[in-house]
Structure 1
Amino acid sequence: MRKHRFLGIVLVAVLAFILVPFAQAQEKIVKIGSLFPMTGRAGLYGLDSVDAAEMAVEEINAKGGVAGYKLEFINTDSKAKPADAVRIAKRYIDEDKVHFLFGVVSSAVGLALTEVSKQNKKIFIGTDHASTQLTVDKFQPYYFRVSNNTFQSMAAGALYLKELAQTKPWTTIAYVGPDYAYGHDQWNELKYNLDRFGVKYKIVGEYWPKLFAPDYTPFITSIIKDKPDVLISGLWGGDSVAFIKQATPYGLFEKTLFCSPDAGGNYEVMSATGAELPLGLVLSARHHNNWPDTAANKEYVQKFFKKTGRYPTYAAEGAYAGILAIAQAVEKVGNPDDADKLVKALEGMKIQLPEDPEGFTSYIDPATHQIVQVQAVGVTVANDQFPPAKRMLGEWKIYKAEDLLPPKEYIESKQKK
């Protein structure tokens, strides 16, 4: 009897040894390799992006995954450095065998990674960085962006300034932005759109601090000296916060209208500045916690808050959208290994997102692989419903998605260069 029991135990152990690895090998996984920064001024964007992506992965896997696959999300700190990101991406592809590259925060990193994506025919889902070059000048078939780009933001900003000129006339304009692709794209695209919409203006200054600059005082004093009616800011994240905090004691925002159409309205700016944030600044971002006032947006914001204990920056919604896009594409194709079919599935994809107002659904433009979305521009007003912020945006102006796209001739002229 003991002998039989012993043999039974041995048999069970042998079967477990054989079958468990087999079962694990049979488990079907979609691997997503992300490259978000987790430290420095861009660290909060990375933290929010990872938390939101994991939230979306958990939701999808809880429902059984997609096409028989479970999603697996991994992140490595890119430190917002192109060289580090390229090294990590190559490891993801060669060793981890990821199906998708995912992220990133900095456009400089995005421009480096799109080359890796192209060379390896590995789909890269861009979730946050906004340089238009990735979907126009540097367009390649394996790159898709699921948050708006600088052209769309600057088109919205130009339309806002055109309307403003009719009620509060202005003539002179200046720009402050980071001295790399993202900053230069914004300024060039704002000027292009002001010209396109027939707005008359005179440039009185351009200021180019380095990314993550510690001291903006020399730029602030120069701006005050140049006396622009409107100051356009292309700064983002911690740089926006630092600039606003350093400029406030100089009374800059009482002397000029401050307008930051792409990243200035990010929740991080509100939460980091509290009651110090001046009223009446004209700002926008890629997602707002308090707009649109829809059930879907409220549910997303509260779900993120419940998971993390904080309200999301716009980077979070971009990462959330990226996971949903991957899931929808894999569900349609049924195979995460067929990159070319996944490209076709992503082209023209309609995807309902928290930032979509009632009656509109975001979609990916097949020609540029850029998501097409409505944009809202607001003004800072007193609002303490999203602590620690004491200001949020209000007095919204809403701009139609199709009105913000670059004209066909603009795209063609850029791609010919």
Structure 2
Amino acid sequence: MKLSSTGKLAVALALVGGAGLAFGPGAWAAGTVNVGLSTTMSGAIGPLGQSNKNGIELAIAKINAEGGLLGKQIKLLSAEDTAKPATGVTNARNFVLSDKVKALFGPVSSAVGSAEAGVAAQYKVPIFYSVSNDVDQTGRSFSKYVFQVVPSTFMEPHAVASYIAKEGREKGWKTYYTVSPDYSFGRTTVDEFLKGMKANGASVDLVGQQWPGLGSSDFSQYISAIMSKKPDFLFVGQYGGDLVTFTKQAEGAGLFKAASVYAGYWMGALQALGASAPAGVISSDRAAPFYLSPSEDMKSFTKEYHSKFGGWPPSWAILGYSAVETWAQGVKKAGSFDADKVAAALSGATIHSALRGSFTIRECDHQAEVPEYMGVLSKDVNAEYGIRTMDHVEKIPGSKIMMTCKAKLALQKS
């Protein structure tokens, strides 16, 4: 029988989902190559991992529908890591030793990501990060098998700082407060934000800091401490379900009326909050939101995502899609699935992403030179998407916010 393009995609999705069955005349006769994803798909940060997995699935399905990669069909294997480094390492090692995966895709938690980098180096398997973004993944944990297509915890807070420093000068902000999760991502993000403010000429009177544990359910004590200091500006490093909980409790306490605020209100949080998301709050995104892109590729991706998963694609899905594109282009350039050849092919390469445009994988650290997007939450909830979208969007180029290669090489040697 002859399959339509829709039929090919359905068959490809069946394989991605783990069915691995033969459909059509010799559909999988060329063989199958496994890739692995160990990530968090439950709990407060689970939606980030699940939507990232969804994007990875769609990218693999497209490759399979178009004939595969070097004549091979790709099969995605996935496992829950519960945001624990030891579990992520075990999952990644099992993928490599038992399932013979040719690539790993990184998790949500940067602590897990840095731990999995060791597995990639030990067993010589390329790993691609598209959610977890701690600078140490391409720093202290770096090997030639590590690739990161998401802005790092150096890049993102420096982009935020460049935006906030300008806003602060215009609006006369003097006193600042930070609240961020108590682990590597949260602390590095705050540290780099403050360094970025200084680099952008801002005078910061830091009147307090709070470090709630990841997955906290009660932020009342932290909110009370913030309110007591009456800061002009509050930097919030919480994200995912934690940010949803923080927002609801902060709104009830009147925090958003008492101070100007930055927080990363990404799709999952916006969907959960709906009209409760605070209009006018400064936000950011690690990839251009789907509703800002007029490209046919993005329209097609958005339609497929909505049809299969019943929601609109968060940036995590877009980033996951581009991680697969990066690996696939490395394989094609190398003409092989061999990890050393793929790593060599990708180092310094320009990647052409259907959803994100072209970006370069920097040779010194394999960090993608990608932008960060800044803006404010819209006054009104978008009727079609059911969320506050990001208005007055400013694209901060990766070239302006990346750690220098000299600094990164020093970090890799530390």
Return the TM-score normalized by structure 2.
0.89
Contact 1:158 1:190 (8 Å CA) reproduced: yes
Deviation at residue 258 of structure 1 after TM alignment: 0.9
How many residues get paired?
Answer: 387
Matching residue of 2:400: 403
Structure-2 residue corresponding to 1:387: 385
Deviations for 1:156-201, whole angstroms, at most 9, x for unmatched residues? 1111012213321211111111111100110111122112222211
Query: Is contact 1:173–1:230 with CA below 8 Å preserved after alignment?
Result: yes
Rg larger in structure: 1
Aligned mates of 2:50, 2:28 — CA distance in 1: 31
Query: CA 1:232 to 1:340, structure 2 compared with 1: closer, same or farther past 3 Å?
Result: same
**1:373 correspondence with 2:370:** yes
Aligned-residue offset at 1:150: 1.7
Residue 155 of structure 2 corresponds to residue 170 of structure 1: no
- For 1:152 and 1:40, the matched residues in 2 are separated by 27
User: Which residue is equivalent to 1:93?
Assistant: 96
Q: Distance in 1 between matches of 2:37 and 2:88?
A: 10
Given that 1:176 and 1:235 are in contact with CA atoms closer than 8 Å, whether structure 2 keeps it comes out as yes
Is 1:330 the counterpart of 2:310? The answer is no
Of residues 359, 362, 366 in structure 1, which corresponds to 2:359?
362
Q: Does the CA contact (< 8 Å) of 1:317 and 1:354 recur in 2?
A: no
The structure-2 alpha-carbon separation of the partners of 1:124 and 1:77, relative to structure 1 and needing over 3 Å to count, comes to: same
Residues 409/199 of structure 1: CA separation in 2 closer, same or farther (3 Å cut): farther
Change (3 A) 1:397 1:325: same
Distance 2:141 2:235 in 1: 26
Gaps of 5+ in 1: 1-22
Which residue in 1 is equivalent to 2:239? 236
- The aligned residue for residue 412 of structure 2 is 415
Superposition pairs of residues 5-404 of structure 1, within 5 angstroms: 27-260=30-263, 264-287=264-287, 288-336=289-337, 338-353=338-353, 356=356, 361-381=358-378, 382-389=380-387, 391-404=388-401
State the superposition RMSD in angstroms: 1.9
Q: Distance in 2 between matches of 1:71 and 1:317?
A: 19
Work out whether residues 274 and 381 of structure 2, in 8 Å CA contact, stay in contact via their aligned partners in 1: no
Q: Supply the AA of the counterpart residue of 1:340.
A: D
- How many percent of aligned residue pairs carry the same amino acid? 30
Q: Is the 8 A contact 1:158 1:193 kept in 2?
A: yes
Question: For residues 258 and 176 of structure 1, what CA distance do their matches in structure 2 show?
Answer: 11
| CA–CA separation in structure 2 for the residues paired with 1:33 and 1:259 | 34
* Aligned-partner Cα distance in 2 for 1:194–1:292: 30
Looking at structure 2, the residues matched to 354 and 414 of structure 1 have their Cα atoms a distance apart, in angstroms, of 32
User: Can you list the C-alpha shifts for 1:121-165, whole angstroms capped at 9, x where unaligned?
Assistant: 111111210111111232221111121112111111111012213
Distance 1:188 1:386, change over 3 A: farther
CA change 1:265–1:301 in 2 (3 A) is farther
Unaligned runs of 5+ in 2: 1-25
